[in-house]
Structure 1
Amino acid sequence: MNRISLWLLLCLCFITDGFAQAPQVPQDYFSNPMEIPLILSGSFGELRSNHFHSGLDIKTQQREGIPVYAPADGFVSRIKVSHYGYGKALYIKHTNGYSTVYAHLSNYAGPIQDYVKGQQYKKESYVIELFPEAELLPVKKGDLIAYSGNSGSSGGPHLHFEIRDGNSRPMNPMLFGVDIPDGKKPLINSVIAYPQSSEAHINNAFKPVKLRLIPQKDGSFKTEKVKAIGQIGFGISAYDQMDGASNKNGVYEIKTSYNGETKLEVLFDRFSFNETRYLNQYIDYGYWQRNKSRVQRLFVAPNNPLSLFKNQDASGLIEVEEGFQGVYSITVKDFQDNTVRIDIPIEGAATTSTPKQSDTDGLNFVSAAENTSITKGKFSVFIPSNSLYEDVYLDIEAEADTLDFHYDEVPIHKNITISFDASNYSDQDLAKLFIGRLNYKGEPYYNTTYRKGKKLSIRTRTFGTYALATDLQAPTISPENFQDQKWISNNKTLKIKIEDEGSGIKSYRATLNGKFILMEYNYKKDVLTYDFGDNISTDTENNLKLVVVDNVGNSTTFEATFFRKQS
């Protein structure tokens, strides 16, 4: 190959890499995971608290127990059972290199269920994570693998379904041919303009300005004319609704342009889990905390490496000069190409106003790029470098056992450590102390509290008010569907309610006639459930013992005897 040919090849590669390439994925390879109409309560990439939604939430007709089938050949590569998060989750590795994930299940099926239950009893733990060998649990396309449910941090019965690439990055399942009927255009809540330089203004204001949307006959929108100078960006609050559901789902694609030239594209096709928390720098986090509406900032804010950004020019920002006329356009699409366009006419106009200087007296300056240590009273705060996205002045004050640690309108990316000097407490009292973030009622919510000598510490990614709290109350235990010294031959399950009003439940362990029994903890209902189908109860007279421990070590022991006829 001569030099000219090599140069042309390199140029071609460079040009190709400069444009967003749609992922090349197999079509018609994966079948639907359930034999019911697919109606979504959540879409891929949807904006959630601290993360982008990594799959599809499929409605299950407001009930649990709908069969879930393997959408392609493969093997079970991972199983995770937890009280929170995904609850009962199943991971399948497929022969084409992709993986599928199923979460919030009520139960696994067939040999998968037998394997999980056996391992839980072997390890004497409901919470478990397993990585079976490839040959242990093979599946064929169409095999029954599980049943839908509401386990973990699910807000109602549904199936969370994911497709991940060979690097474990979640991808939009609709790219693979999963067809969800959607004939509705995205809905636009609001558009906000943001000045981005010290001299920039928008309509004589040096702060973000919400623009008035004017509907057009063709279904598009226009805003009032914006008079501005300097570097500015825009943000939009928008969502999509699909056929058969009223849920506010995420949109698929947002494109922006200025006078016809592309400025930025945001495409919800694929992301990695190590970037998902950057959502907090993508949205206007302070606006979300104040108004409970997520505005997507259509420019690349500092320290935001999201791969969802495509074809960006000048980070999506525009420069407005005096006397210049222009139009900034936003196009919002769902996966079925239903589209809404918003045009924003802009006029470059100077202002006689001057920006108001921020009052930073008494505040603590924190550089995002450096470690920072701050001491207030008995509290000390350590903020590692890159915990914050941008430099900021923080309002931090302490009084007695309470720390006012700024306010939750600034996002935190990496854990910050808050420590408390408890040297004036006795060892006996120290054991019952924890540091908790106060809720809107002024009640402390338990944070995992570490103890080193007389020093207590927590790690947090949320600003707010933190206080030292004491928990002297042991958990309470009460039977739900049986009584002591009674016959319960017709019961299929044993249900027990456990509660703790202080630091919360940490652990529990139950035995029947001295043998460990597996009890599933539903933290949303504060109920433990044992399934008699596990066949641990083989005697007519059964002695139950349950020990429940809270997060500071208070424990309660419950004992009862019940009788069952044995078949």
Structure 2
Amino acid sequence: LYQLKITALTIHSNMVYYFNVLKLSEITLFLFCLFIFSIPEAHGQNYLWPLNIESKLSSQFGDYRDGHWHAGIDITTRGKTGYKVYAVTDGYIYRIRTSFWGYGKALYLKLSDGCIAVYGHLTRFSPSIEKVIRQQQMNKKNYYQDIFLTANEFVVKKGDYIALTGQTGSGAPHLHFEIRDRYNFPLNPLKHYYRFTDNHPPIVEYLVVKRYHKYGSGNYHDIEFLRLDGQNPELFVKDTVAVYGQSLFAVSAYDPNNGYNYSINSGRMSLDGDEIFSFEHDRLDYSIGEQIDYVCDLELKKLVEKQNGIALDKDKNIFYRLYIQPHDKQWFYNQYSYPAGIIDSDSLEPGPHSLKISLSDVNGNECHVNLYIKKADFEIPVVRDICISNDSLRLYMGAFPVSLEPQIQRRQAPHLPYQYIYSDFDLFERTLTFPMSDNDYDYRIRIKGEYLSPWMVFKPGLKSPSVTPYVDYFELCFPIEEDLLINDQRVTYQNKDIFPLGNGFYKALIPVPVENGILELKLGENQIGNDYFIYSKSGSAYSPDSTVMIDFSEKDLFGPTLIAITELKPDNGDGYTFDIIPEDLLFNDEVEITILPEKLDLNTAYFSLYYYSSQKSKWYFIGNRNQNHISGQTRGGGKFGILIDRTPPVISKLKPKNGSIIKNRKPRLSCVITDDLSGFKNETQFEMTIDGIWVPAYYDIDNEIFFYKVMYPLKPGRHILRVRATDNQGNKATAISRFTVLGKY
């Protein structure tokens, strides 16, 4: 035996250990424990780190997820599974959950201080826990289980081995780890218990201002992506930003570290040195997490994605609103509530005002954006006509003071900043001439001098009428010689309400005349666009032929809401598609979509409702099985389909193969299960049996592999492996493999 005398040793928890003569086995045990709980990149204040390997974080608390915020941290496991997971402090296991989706195999520990630790995407529990969950699965013949335990059933001590890391649920191998308070609300682990080295400040991608005549959801007058100058972390906007009505700001930013992009932990905005808004992702509430696409600005993200033609990084390209909207119930705004952050230009004194935006990661690294804003207090410039030539535009201006001058800008895409254009203003002819390019998306003009007018945005050269709906007004582009009618009532307007676009077309902003009801727009005898429904209370919206209906209550709306359902279009003879618009429409809860199949002569046994994801170019089943009608739920607008699915799932690559002879008496049984449309949504749609006995096989939803590792040796001789799968439409498939295990009987 080797002997060693250690007089003192200090570890990061500041505990000092004194040793006399120790046996080698004791030294080995001590050094192993020291390795487990000494993580170079992180240290716990009260809790141990849950793994014994050097770790990086692929996701942090508060990162964006589809339909919710990320409630914990994702710890990388070097692309492998099977690392031991440890109890972070004393407590007991009070919940065990197994599923093909979500957290996969998960453990919930009630800790001695009352908090809860959650471990997700595990591949295996410790043997004693595994035995309990397996028995429950066998009894219920269902892989999905959600078991709650009492305090004395599975007591754990700090550092006890409780599971192995994996990748169950979804995603690459990693450990999802959460700390929740005693009331089950997730806390930011990196704020309260652990700390990773990070000296990189957040990076700002975009800064956007939305201007409203009157604030309302989706009711802005214009969006402007501001040009940022300077170098991170100190950025600024060179030009004074004009504000009018009610203006508000949103920022797209992310926190880079160790090759990953994380969300912003906190932000604040100050006007003339006084803070007017702040947020901090310190604590979340699961019950209101589905508001994420309302709290973040989903419309701006989709706009950038559409222009770039690709789906954006969810943590890198989220737009954070620097203001609070009505019905926003989140907890992370400190003392602020609606309408914090919304800048009312009527409350601004004349002259420029400083605006400072500060963004921070969880370690306190900050970046700043500084700009000046000024109230636009002059009438929108009157342009009487536009003359379009091959390479230039000439604007015939109305009257304004000689001391002022017009400014013109252009942009090449809606998500790009405007740029000044050289222009020639003839004071006597009252004309403004500037070059035009096919690459220009649109233009804007204002009058500048001692006063600053609002920008007027225009896109010349239209050749057909168009309508852009908002909650309390419509933006119409139309030939002025035709009568404009709303619900068969002729619309009148003054010259200041319209703007020429050339080719005899004009742009007009028309107030919506109703608060609750249907709107129909016509030019002469011809309808423009769809029938639009405006609601601030309970109601229903219909497609033009009343085949599709949406029902909603007042609590489902984020205030006055505009909804339209387009006509149904045949989809390659296999169903129909339609749109619920606006595309970025959001509801506060799921609302019911109902299809009346008798009008379309559809068999409900084979048709269901689907939602189309443009990001993934894929249809997703959202239907409910009902003999009388087709229905489903949605939380917003987009493209939907009434599609047929007669094709059963495909079961392939069974192992062991049919007719095979194997030596291994504890083989891994597996197959691939795919489905071309409706897919799967719960564990009972899969079944694997060995010689007629159900076994708890697991379905890897990412790789579409259904497998089970035999725990107890199979008897030598012939065996039958049977796999069944049923898709969401009810189509069924079965596959059988008969194989032989070698050995003595």
Q: TM-score range by the shorter chain?
A: 0.7 to 0.9
1:262 counterpart (267, 275, 289): 275
Aligned counterparts of 1:492 and 1:199: Cα–Cα separation in 2? 64
Alignment match, 2:343: 318
1:515 counterpart (674, 688, 693): 693
1:497 counterpart (649, 661, 672): 672
State which structure, 1 or 2, has the greater radius of gyration over its C-alpha atoms: 2
Alignment match, 2:14: none
Instruction: Mark the CA change 1:336 to 1:259 in structure 2 (over 3 Å): closer, same or farther.
Output: same
Q: Where in structure 2 are the equivalents of 1:12-23 lying within 5 Å? A: none
1:399 counterpart (547, 554, 568): 568
Alignment match, 2:122: 105
Aligned counterparts of 1:525 and 1:89: Cα–Cα separation in 2? 20
Instruction: Mark the CA change 1:541 to 1:30 in structure 2 (over 3 Å): closer, same or farther.
Output: same
Alignment match, 1:253: 266
Alignment match, 1:16: none
CA contact (8 A) 2:656 2:737 kept: no
Q: Give the SS at the match of 2:623.
A: coil
Alignment match, 1:240: 255
1:538 counterpart (704, 715, 720): 715
Q: Give the SS at the match of 2:287.
A: helix
Gaps of 5+ in 1: 1-26
Return the letter of the residue paired with 2:362. F
1:150 aligns with 2:150: no
Using the TM superposition, give the Cα deviation of residue 544 of structure 1 relative to its aligned residue in structure 2, in angstroms. 1.7
Q: Give the SS at the match of 1:495.
A: strand
Using the TM superposition, give the Cα deviation of residue 310 of structure 1 relative to its aligned residue in structure 2, in angstroms. 1.7
The CA RMSD measured in Å over matched residues stands at 2.5
CA contact (8 A) 2:543 2:567 kept: no
Comparing 63-72 with 364-373, which one deviates more in the overlay?
A: 364-373
2:227 counterpart (193, 212, 218): 212
Return the letter of the residue paired with 2:284. F
Query: Residues 2-22 of structure 1: CA distance to partner in whole angstroms, max 9, x if unpaired?
Result: xxxxxxxxxxxxxxxxxxxxx
Alignment match, 1:411: 586
Aligned counterparts of 2:112 and 2:363: Cα–Cα separation in 1? 29
Using the TM superposition, give the Cα deviation of residue 426 of structure 1 relative to its aligned residue in structure 2, in angstroms. 8.3
Alignment match, 1:308: 332
1:342 counterpart (369, 382, 385): 369
Alignment match, 1:472: 646
Alignment match, 1:174: 190
1:226 aligns with 2:342: no
Q: TM-score, normalization: structure 1?
A: 0.88
1:423 aligns with 2:598: yes
Alignment match, 2:402: none
The alignment of Structure 1 onto Structure 2 pairs a total of residues equal to 530
CA contact (8 A) 1:185 1:333 kept: yes
CA contact (8 A) 1:220 1:340 kept: yes
1:65 counterpart (82, 86, 90): 82
Using the TM superposition, give the Cα deviation of residue 141 of structure 1 relative to its aligned residue in structure 2, in angstroms. 0.8
Alignment match, 2:705: 527
Using the TM superposition, give the Cα deviation of residue 102 of structure 1 relative to its aligned residue in structure 2, in angstroms. 0.9
Aligned counterparts of 1:404 and 1:416: Cα–Cα separation in 2? 15
Using the TM superposition, give the Cα deviation of residue 534 of structure 1 relative to its aligned residue in structure 2, in angstroms. 4.6
1:562 aligns with 2:576: no
Aligned counterparts of 2:716 and 2:45: Cα–Cα separation in 1? 53
Return the letter of the residue paired with 1:102. Y
Instruction: Mark the CA change 1:323 to 1:404 in structure 2 (over 3 Å): closer, same or farther.
Output: same
Using the TM superposition, give the Cα deviation of residue 165 of structure 1 relative to its aligned residue in structure 2, in angstroms. 0.5
Q: Give the SS at the match of 2:288.
A: helix
Using the TM superposition, give the Cα deviation of residue 525 of structure 1 relative to its aligned residue in structure 2, in angstroms. 1.3
CA contact (8 A) 1:422 1:455 kept: yes
Using the TM superposition, give the Cα deviation of residue 223 of structure 1 relative to its aligned residue in structure 2, in angstroms. 1.0
1:459 aligns with 2:633: yes
Instruction: Mark the CA change 1:368 to 1:272 in structure 2 (over 3 Å): closer, same or farther.
Output: farther
Using the TM superposition, give the Cα deviation of residue 111 of structure 1 relative to its aligned residue in structure 2, in angstroms. 1.1
Q: Give the SS at the match of 2:61.
A: coil
Aligned counterparts of 1:228 and 1:505: Cα–Cα separation in 2? 50
Gaps of 5+ in 2: 1-43, 305-311, 382-455, 458-472, 476-518, 522-529, 570-575
Using the TM superposition, give the Cα deviation of residue 173 of structure 1 relative to its aligned residue in structure 2, in angstroms. 0.4
Comparing 350-359 with 245-254, which one deviates more in the overlay?
A: 350-359
Q: Give the SS at the match of 1:412.
A: strand
Aligned counterparts of 1:487 and 1:458: Cα–Cα separation in 2? 48
Q: Where in structure 2 are the equivalents of 1:77-88 lying within 5 Å? A: 77-88=94-105
Instruction: Mark the CA change 1:492 to 1:366 in structure 2 (over 3 Å): closer, same or farther.
Output: farther
CA contact (8 A) 2:690 2:722 kept: yes
Instruction: Mark the CA change 1:543 to 1:206 in structure 2 (over 3 Å): closer, same or farther.
Output: closer
Aligned counterparts of 1:539 and 1:157: Cα–Cα separation in 2? 35
Instruction: Mark the CA change 1:342 to 1:383 in structure 2 (over 3 Å): closer, same or farther.
Output: same
Aligned counterparts of 2:617 and 2:261: Cα–Cα separation in 1? 31
1:388 counterpart (557, 580, 585): 557
Aligned counterparts of 1:50 and 1:548: Cα–Cα separation in 2? 28
Using the TM superposition, give the Cα deviation of residue 542 of structure 1 relative to its aligned residue in structure 2, in angstroms. 0.7
Using the TM superposition, give the Cα deviation of residue 437 of structure 1 relative to its aligned residue in structure 2, in angstroms. 2.0
1:76 aligns with 2:93: yes
Using the TM superposition, give the Cα deviation of residue 516 of structure 1 relative to its aligned residue in structure 2, in angstroms. 1.2
Aligned counterparts of 2:633 and 2:712: Cα–Cα separation in 1? 39
Alignment match, 1:4: none
Aligned counterparts of 1:49 and 1:443: Cα–Cα separation in 2? 15
Q: Give the SS at the match of 1:111.
A: helix
Q: TM-score, normalization: structure 2?
A: 0.67
Return the letter of the residue paired with 1:494. L
Instruction: Mark the CA change 1:426 to 1:212 in structure 2 (over 3 Å): closer, same or farther.
Output: closer
Comparing 356-365 with 539-548, which one deviates more in the overlay?
A: 356-365
